[in-house]
Amino acid sequence: MDRQHKKNRARTKPGTRIRHGGSHRGLDQASEKSLKSSKKLGNSVLNEHISGATAKRDQLLQFIVERLQVQQQVQDKESDALRNQNEWYRDVFRGKPGFHVPDPGRWAEAAGGMKKAGEALCRGDLGRATQILERALQAESAAFEALPEQVLNRLNSGQTAGHEGPAAGDGLSEEDTCPTRTPPPELRIADRIIAVQPQQQRVSMKGKQPHDWWTGEDEDEEKPDESA
């Protein structure tokens, strides 16, 4: 009996734990495998979220650049119309509906809002940028609605208001974020739009007959006071 006891003690080194069966080891391996799978799944979901946010950011930036390009094109045509007053002054003088003095400076608010939205996207403020963009689109629509007829007649089919942003901005909250990036150089178009602030000549219509346009036409004229 003493000999068997010594034999068992010799087989067990001091500090060695004796495992009874392999069930605990199997459970540890399964838990570790499950943890690794969870991490992989979590990383996959995170990567998918980042990828989706990046795509939305880039889509919105592309839309902003396109709107700035359209605004600049329309502003150029409005500036050109302002320089060619002889083409429309008669209609403005007569009060023809829809005709009034062009104002290229009207695009500053919309362009400034577009630039702020683009900068917010590049800072990673995805949700905040969509809110700024919405207000900028409202300003753009107001600018288009205020255009005089002599400018509207110069526009092509692609030079219209954006009205609504792309679907990439749908369903976002103010707290939504995206990866940051360097602002695209096209955002500087907004600076050039804002810089156009022409000093408009105030037009007085009373008692004037510009050039010889009214010759032979029955128009109201300012007549001298015969009682003087």
Tokens of residue 163, six digits: 């009205």
Measured CA to CA, the distance from residue 205 to residue 81 in angstroms comes to 19
pLDDT of residue 167: 73
CA distance linking residue 68 with residue 190, whole number of Å? 7
pLDDT computed for residue 124 by the predictor: 94
| 8's tokens | 């068992």
Predicted local confidence at residue 174, as pLDDT: 84
In the prediction, which pLDDT does 175 show? Answer: 87
Distance separating alpha carbons of residues 104 and 107, to the nearest angstrom: 7
pLDDT value for 162: 83
Query: Has this prediction a pTM greater than 0.85?
Result: no
Chain centroid, CA 62 distance in Å: 8
Residues 6+ apart with CB under 8 A from 222: 206, 207
> For 173-197, what is each residue's pLDDT tens digit?
888 999 999 999 999 999 999 999 8
Name the stretches of the chain with pLDDT < 70. Answer: 1-47, 49, 168-169, 199-228
| In 76-125, beta strands by DSSP E | none
| Confidence at residue 172, expressed as pLDDT on a 0 to 100 scale | 81
CA–CA gap between residue 115 and residue 223 (Å, rounded): 53
Instruction: Please tell me the predicted confidence (pLDDT) of residue 88.
Output: 93
Spell 37-65 as b/e; 16+ CB within 10 A means b. eeeeeeeeeeeeeeeebeebbebbbebbb
Query: What gap in Å lies between CA 82 and CA 201, rounded to an integer?
Result: 10
Residue 129: name the closest of 190, 139, 51, 137 by CA: 137
Can you give the pLDDT at residue 164?
A: 76
Look at residue 198 in the predicted model and tell me its pLDDT.
73
Composition of the chain by helix, strand, coil, percent to 5:
60, 0, 40
The residue type of 86 is N
DSSP state of 201: P
Assign residue 59 a region (left: φ > 0; alpha: ψ between -120 and 50; beta: otherwise): alpha
